[in-house]
Structure 1
Amino acid sequence: MSLDQDGSSRNNPVYPHVSSSSPLKDLESGVSGREDGFVDLSRRSSESLHSAPSDSLELLDYGSPDAGLLGQTGPSTSSRRKGCWGSCAAWLSGPQPPRQYRIEPFFPRFQTAPLRLVDRFLPTRSSRVWALVAFHALWALIFLSILHRSVTGPDIPGYGSPVRLSCGAQLWSNSTNCGLNGDECRPFDDASFAFRCPAGCRQTILLEPYTVGDQDYNYRPLVIGGAADAEGDGIYRGDSFLCAAALHAGAINDQTGGCGILRRTGEQSNYASVEKNGISSIPFPSNFPLSLTFERGPIAACRDPRWLLFAISVFFTAVLSLATTSPAVFYSSVFFITYFQVALASDPPFSPDYNEVVSIGLGRFLPAAFVGFAIYYFCVRRTLTGLTAQWEKTVLWLGGCWVGALNTDTFDRIPISRLTPHDIQQQPGAVPALIIIVAILVVALLSQAWALCIEGRLPQYLLLYGVMACAGPAHPSLHPGAALSAGDGAADAAQSAVPGIASGAVHQRHRTLGVRQHPADASRAARGSPAGQSTTQHRRASHQRKQQHHFFLPMLPDDVAGISVLVNDVERFRAYRENESESDAATPFHWTRLRANETEFFRFGYFKTRDLGGIWYEDFTKAGTWLADGSWVHMAPGASR
C-alpha cells in the first residue's frame, strides 16, 4: 500500500470506491476506524461484551457446561415476557428506518401527459388560477341551468304544476294519524291532482313491520291491490306508496321517474294481489275508505335529471383530477361539486317547495365543509401529496369518492337496513351480505395496518382507534367511514379506492343528515316497530251475530288514558277515561259490518296523553278476524303497528 507523506493511504485496494482521505467508519455503529484506515473491531467487541444485557448473559450461562453447577434453569418468566412485549413493540414500530409508500405509476409518460398539456397551454400561475375559476363557473352554469329547467318543469293541462312527491309519499300515512274514521285524510273521492316522482322508487321498501288486515309485511314496497276494475284501471288502497303504485300501474318509469295524474276513487273492497312491472302487490280481502287509481293517456314530458347531472359532474371532476397535482385544489373542487350534486340532485331532502331544498343544502354546507377540511388535513393530504399517477388517481380515488357519495344508489342497495340483530335475522339476504362486508372491511383494515406499519406510523393510529373504540359506546352513531378514513394516510396504490370511498361516504352523511346532535340509541333505531308484547291482551268479544258484533272491553289500567279499536286498519272507536270510578266498568263497543258477508279485522290498543297535549298510541294487538260466516278467529299473541 502506498502512503502519503502524512502516513495516510492514497488508495484502498480492498474498498477502492471509498475515499482514502477520510477514515472508514463502522457501518453499524458509525464509529471511526483507526488512524491506519482499518476498523477497530477489538474495541467494538470489548464494548459489546461489557454492555451485553443480563438476559443475554443468562442465555450464555445456560448454554455453558457449568449451567447445572450455577443453578440456572433457563430464562426467567419476566425475561420471556419482556422479550415478547419487546418483539411486539418492535414489530408495531415497523422497519428502521421507515419506508415511505409512494405510488409508482404504470406507463408514467402516459399518465403525466395531461400535466404536460397544462404546462404547455397554461404556463403561468395566474393563467391556471383563471382557468380554474372559469372551469368551476362553467360547471355551475350548466348544472344550475338543467336543474332550474327540471324544477320549474312543464305544466300539465288542466292540473297546473305537478306536486313533487318523495318515494315514500302516501295519502294515508298509518292507522292512527288520520283520526277517527280517517276524517283527517279526506277527501276520499272525486279529487285528482298531477304529481311528479323521482327515479329509483322501486327500491323504496318498508323498514318496519306494517300490518295489513291480519298479516305483517316488511322489506318490500308498500303497494296494496292493483287489480283492474271494470274500466281496466288498477285500484290501490289509499295507504300505498304513491310512486311505487304508479310504477306498478306503469304510469311512470323507474329509471327516469316521471309525472302522472292520480284520482281518488273512495271506498273499495277486495284489493287483489297483482305482479306487474317488477313489483308484487299486497292483497287485502276487505274494504277501505280511501282508494286511488292513475289516469291513462299522454302526460307532459317529465324526467328526473339526477343521472344527467351526475354524468356532467363526473366529467368535470375527472378532467380536474387529470389536470392537477395540487391536493388542495383537487380535494376542495371535488368536495364542492359532489356536495351540491348530492344535496340538490342525487339525494336531496324532500320538500314540495324546491326553495326549501336549496335552503337546507346551503345551511348544511358549512358543517360539511368543516368535516371535509378535517378529513383532508389529517387523512387525505398525505395520500395525494406528490402523486403523479393521474389516471390511477382518477379511477381509484375519484371513482371511490363518487361511489361513497352516491350512497343511496350504491351501498343502500345492500340488503341491510340497520345493524341490529333483529333486522339482520329478519331481512332476506342480510346475513350473507354482512359476512361479505365484514370480510372486505377486514382486508381493507389489514392492508391499512400493514402500510402504516411499514411507514412507522402504526402506534399512533392504534392509539387513535383506541380512542374511537372507547367513544363508540357513548357515540354509537360514529360513521364507519370516519373510522376508515382515519387510517387512509398511506399512499398505497392498492388502497387508493379506500380513502375515496370513506371520504365520499362521510360527506354524503353530512349532506343528507346534517350534524346529528344526539347519538341514536337502540330505541330510536326501532323507528316505531313493535317492541314486544302488546299491553292489550285482554280484549274479548262477548256477543256476536252474523252482521253485528258486540265487545265489552275490560277496565283500563291506571297508567293509560283510553283505548282505541282499529277495524280494517282504520280507527273506528276511541274511549277516554273520564274519571277513576268509571275505569272499573267494562267499556262497550258495538260494531255493525260495513258490507254484508265480508271479512273484517279488529285490533285493540291503549293510548296515553302527552304533557303538552295530544295523545300517543301504544302497540296494538294482532288482528282478530270476523269471518263472513259470522265466526270469530281470536287474535294471535304479540303486538302490531
Structure 2
Amino acid sequence: MDEEALGSPLLGPAGFHESPSRRSLWDWLNGPPVPSDDPPRVTNTLLVPLELFPSQLKMRYPYRIRALFLCAYIVIWFMMNYAIMYPHLIRGPHLDDERIVTLSCTGDGYFWRGKNQACGLLGRDCVPERGEEVIIKCPALCDRGWSYAARPVGTEMVKYRQGDSYPCSSAVHGGVLSPFSGGCVKIKFTGVGLSFESKKGPHGTNWSVGFPSFFPSSFVFEPLNESISGCHDPRFIILILNILLGAPVMYLAGGLVGYWTSLVAGFWTILLVLDPPFIVNSDEDTAQLISNGFAKFLPLCFVLHVLWTAGCKRTLTDGSPLAKLLLWYPLFWVGSANVITFDRIPIDRMRIDDIKQMPGSVLAIIVVIPLIIACVALQAFQIWKAGKLIKYAKAYVTIIVGLAVLSTLPNLGLRIHHYMIGMLLVPGTGTRGITAYPLQGLLLGLLLSGVARWDFASVVETEVSLLRGEAGTSSAPPPGFQFNGTHVLWDVPEHPPSNLPGYSLIVNDVEFWVGEDTSFNVERFLKHADVVFFRVALSALHGDDRGDYTRAATIINGTWIPPEDGVS
C-alpha cells in the first residue's frame, strides 16, 4: 500500500497535506517543522585533520593504554603544581630572626581591626609601638584592595576605592610592590601621623584618600635587603600552567573525561591560589584551606553531575573536538578566573545604591546588558531550532516565578550570586550548536569561581548581611550635636535604648571618649591641628554596644561645619 493511502507523520492523515503556514502558534514557538541540533561541522581542509585526530587516536590505541597514559599525565601535572606551590602554600616565606606575616589586600584587620570603636579607646588595642618593624607578604591583585562597604575617613565615606591605608594596597599604590606578583615588604611604624596627603599611584590605583589631620598610627616602607623565597604570588604561573596542561585533555579525551578534568583542575586552582577564601599564615591555615575546599567540593560534584546530565552531556559527547578546545575551554577559564576578568568590570551588585556609588557602573551596565541579551537570544534560537523552546521556557518561567516569590519574604533581600547564574543557566546550553560551547564553558567557570570563593551562599540574605558591615544596622540613631566654641554638645534623646545609656565620641576616626556627659571639651585637639573631625553615637558604658554614628562634623581653625545627613 502506498504512503499517501496510509498517511505519514509529516503529511498528516491520508489525503491531507498540512502546509507549514497552517501550523499553530504553539507549534511554531516550539520549533521548526524539522528540528535540527547538530554539532559544528569543520569543512576547512586545513582543520579537518585536527578535527579527526582525537577519534583516530582512540581507534589506534586501546582504552587501557589511553587510561594509563592519562593517569601518568595527571600525576606529572599534579607534581608540577605542587613544586610551584610548595614555597608559597606549604613552606611559606620565612627568616630566622624576623617574623613574616601574610596579609590579604585589605589587611584582614591584622594591624588595624576596623572602624569606630573596633580598636578600643585611643586605638590602644591596635597601635603598634613606634619603631616596630615587621615584614609582610602581599598577594597579587592588590591594585584593587577596595573597601566594598562604606568606611568613614574624615568627612568622606570611602567605598569602591582603596581606604584605611591597607598595608598591601598601600605598597602597590606607593610603587613598592607589583600588582601582578605581589611580594614581601618591610613596614616600619612611625607613631602619630600629623597629616596624610592624597597622592596618585601607578597601575591604575588613582588617588589615595587624603586625611588632613592627626592619627595615632602611621607607617612607612623600608628597603628589604634580604632575598626571601616564597614571597612572590604564583597565581598567574599556576593559572597559565593549568590552562596549558588541561588543553590536551579537553581536546583528546572524551567529553566526560575532559569535562571532569577541567572542572576539578579549575576548582582547586581557584581555591588554592587564584582566589582563595582566606589567607594562609601557618601549617594549620593550609590544612584548614584544604578542608574548606573539600567541604565545598563534594556537594559541588553532585551539582556538576546533575548539570552534565541536564545539558553538558549533549554538548560535549561526540561533539566537535576543535569547538571544545577553541570555544568551550577558553571561556571556561575566563569564567573560572572571575577575580581577574569579570570582577574588573565596575559592577558589584545589581542594587540601586551600589550602582550609584560605583564609578563607571552605569556605563558598564549599558554595555554588558545588551551583550547578555544577545547571548540569550542566540542560544534561545538554537533551542528553538532543536524543537525544545517551550520545554525550556516552562522551566525558566517556573524559576523566575520562584525567585519573585522569594523576593517578597519579609526582612530578606534577593541576592543572585554568580554561581547561581551558572547553575541555573547551564541546562539552557544543552544543545549541540556552536553557541552552546562558549556559553556553557563560561557559565561553568562562573559556577566554580563562586562556590570555591564564597561557597553556596544563600539566594536570600538579611538586610544586615547585604550591608556588609556598613552603618544602618543599628536601631539606635545618633543624637544631634553642636559646637559652642570650646565644647561639642549632643542632644539627649527622648527615649534612649536602655542598653545604650551613654555616648561615644569619635575624634579623627578613633574612639576617644565614652561616658554619660552630654558635652566634651575639645580645646586640646584644636591646639594641635587646624582640622579635626568628630562623630558621636549612643553607647553602652561597658562593652562594645554602639548605635549608629553621625557623619563627621569638622572644626577648621575654630569654625564649625556640621555633619551631613546620614550615619556612619
Aligned twin of 2:214: 287
Give 1:620's aligned residue: 549
RMSD: 2.8
1: CA distance between counterparts of 2:492 and 2:465?
32
> Match for 2:423 among 482, 485, 492?
482
Tell me if the contact between 1:368 and 1:514 (Cα under 8 Å) persists in the aligned partners.
no
Q: Is the contact made by 2:479 and 2:493 (CA closer than 8 Å) also made in structure 1?
A: no
Q: State the identity as a percent.
A: 25
Offset at residue 184 of structure 1 (A): 1.5
Change (3 A) 1:114 1:167: farther
Tell me what 2:267 maps to: 339
Contact 2:144 2:162 in 1 (8 A): yes
* Deviation larger for 371-380 or 477-486: 477-486
2:235 paired residue number: 306
Equivalent of residue 367 in structure 2, options 426, 432, 436: 436
- Aligned CA distance change for structure 1 residues 597 and 453 (closer, same or farther; 3 Å): closer
When residues 534 and 633 of structure 1 are mapped into structure 2, their CA distance, relative to the original with a 3 A threshold, is farther
Q: Which runs of 5+ in 1 are unaligned?
A: 1-22, 32-42, 53-82, 223-238, 577-585
* 2:467 paired with 1:526: yes
1:105 to 17, 21, 42: 42
User: Quick check: 1:604–1:621 contact (8 Å CA) kept in 2?
Assistant: yes
Segment drifting more, 131-140 vs 295-304: 295-304
Q: Deviations over 1:166-206 (max 9, x none)?
A: 01114222122111111211324232111101111102222
State yes or no: 1:252 paired with 2:193: no
Alpha-carbon spacing, 1:199–1:316, altered in 2? closer, same or farther (3 Å): same
Sort the Cα spacing of 1:106 and 1:318 in 2 relative to 1 into closer, same or farther, 3 A. farther
Greater CA deviation, 197-206 or 528-537?
528-537
Deviations along 1:105-129, whole A, 9 cap, x unmatched?
2435332354166347x61111111
**Structure-2 residue corresponding to 1:91:** 28
The alpha-carbon deviation at position 145 of structure 1 amounts to: 1.6
SS class of match (1:189): coil
Q: Partners in 2 of 1:430 and 1:552 — Cα distance?
A: 38
The partner residue of 1:512 within 453, 474, 485 is 453
Partner SS for 2:212: strand
For 2:302 and 2:423, the matched residues in 1 are separated by 14
Structure 2 match to 1:395: 326
Post-superposition offset of 1:134:
1.0
Contact 2:103 2:168 in 1 (8 A): yes
How far does residue 592 in structure 1 lie from its aligned partner after superposition? 3.8
Q: Which amino acid counterpart does residue 469 of structure 1 have in structure 2? A: I
Give the TM-score taking structure 2 as reference length: 0.87
Q: Does 1:470 align with 2:401?
A: yes
Match of 1:182 in 2: 123
**Counterpart check, 1:349 vs 2:302:** no
* Native 8 Å contact 1:555 1:587 kept in 2: no
Residues 285, 320 of structure 1: alpha-carbon distance in 2 compared, 3 angstrom cutoff: same
The answer on whether the counterparts of 1:260 and 1:299 sit within 8 Å (CA) in structure 2 is no
- Displacement of 1:537 in angstroms is 4.4
2:257 to 329, 335, 340: 329
User: 8 Å contact 1:248–1:277 — kept in the other structure?
Assistant: yes
The match for 2:186 is 261
Q: Is the 8 A contact 2:478 2:547 kept in 1?
A: no
Are 2:77 and 1:150 aligned? no
Aligned to 2:411: none
Whichever residue aligns with residue 364 of structure 1, its letter is K
Structure 2 segments unaligned to the other structure (5+ residues): 408-413
Distance verdict in 2 for CA 1:175–1:97, change over 3 Å: same
After superposition, what is the alpha-carbon deviation per residue over 1:504-538, rounded to whole angstroms, capped at 9, x for unaligned? Answer: 10121111122235622444222233449982242
Task: Give runs of aligned pairs for residues 436-585 of structure 1, distance below 5 A.
Answer: 436-473=367-404, 474=406, 476-478=414-416, 479-516=420-457, 519-531=460-472, 535-541=477-483, 543-545=484-486, 549-551=487-489, 553-555=491-493, 557-559=495-497, 561=500, 562-575=502-515
Deviation at 1:490, TM superposition (A): 1.0
Distance in 2, matches of 1:297 and 1:313, equals 32
Going from structure 1 to structure 2, the CA distance change for 1:618 and 1:118 (only over 3 Å counts) comes to farther
1:47-126 equivalence runs, <5 A = 87-107=24-44, 109-112=48-51, 114-115=53-54, 118-119=57-58, 123-126=61-64
Range 303-312 or range 597-606, more displaced: 597-606
Q: How many angstroms apart in 2 are the aligned matches of 1:176 and 1:346?
A: 34
Distance in 1, matches of 2:545 and 2:561, equals 28
Aligned partners of 2:515 and 2:390: how far apart in 1? 65
> Match of 1:166, SS?
coil
Counterpart Cα distance in 2 of 1:518 and 1:608 = 35
Match runs of 1:368-407 below 5 Å: 368-387=300-319, 389-407=320-338
1:573-612 pair list within 5 angstroms: 573-575=513-515, 587-594=518-525, 595-607=527-539
Q: Which segment is superposed worse, 430-439 or 510-519? A: 510-519
C-alpha distance in 2, partners of 1:95/1:246?
60
Q: 2:156 aligns with which of 204, 215, 225?
A: 215
Residue 413 and residue 44 in structure 1: after superposition, are their counterparts in 2 closer, same or farther (change >3 A)?
closer
Name the SS of the counterpart of 2:4 in structure 1.
coil
Q: TM-score, normalised by structure 1?
A: 0.78
- Higher mean alpha-carbon deviation, 296-305 vs 440-449, is at 296-305
Q: Secondary structure at the match of 1:141?
A: helix
With over 3 angstroms needed to count, the CA separation of the structure-2 counterparts of 1:435 and 1:106, relative to structure 1, is farther
Higher relative contact order at CA 8 Å, sep ≥6: structure 1 or structure 2?
Answer: 2
Counterparts in 2 of 1:95 and 1:568: CA distance versus 1, 3 Å: same
Q: Give, in whole Å, the separation in 2 of the partners of 1:531 and 1:552.
A: 20
Distance 1:311 1:157 in 2: 33
Report what 2:410 is aligned to: none
The alpha-carbon distance between structure 1 residues 285 and 477, as it changes in their structure 2 partners (threshold 3 A), is closer
Post-superposition Cα deviations, 1:309-333, rounded to whole Å, max 9, x if no partner, equal 1111111110101212x22111111
Q: Show the counterpart of 1:159.
A: 98
> Secondary structure at the residue paired with 1:618?
coil
Amino acid in the other structure paired with 2:341: T
Distance 2:74 2:390 in 1: 41
Task: Give a deviation string over 1:134-180, Cα, whole Å, max 9, x none.
Answer: 111111111112111223244346414x2111011142221221111
Distance 2:140 2:149 in 1: 23
| 1:211 partner letter | P
Of residues 51, 73, 79, the one that matches 1:141 is 79
**Counterpart in the other structure of 2:165:** 240
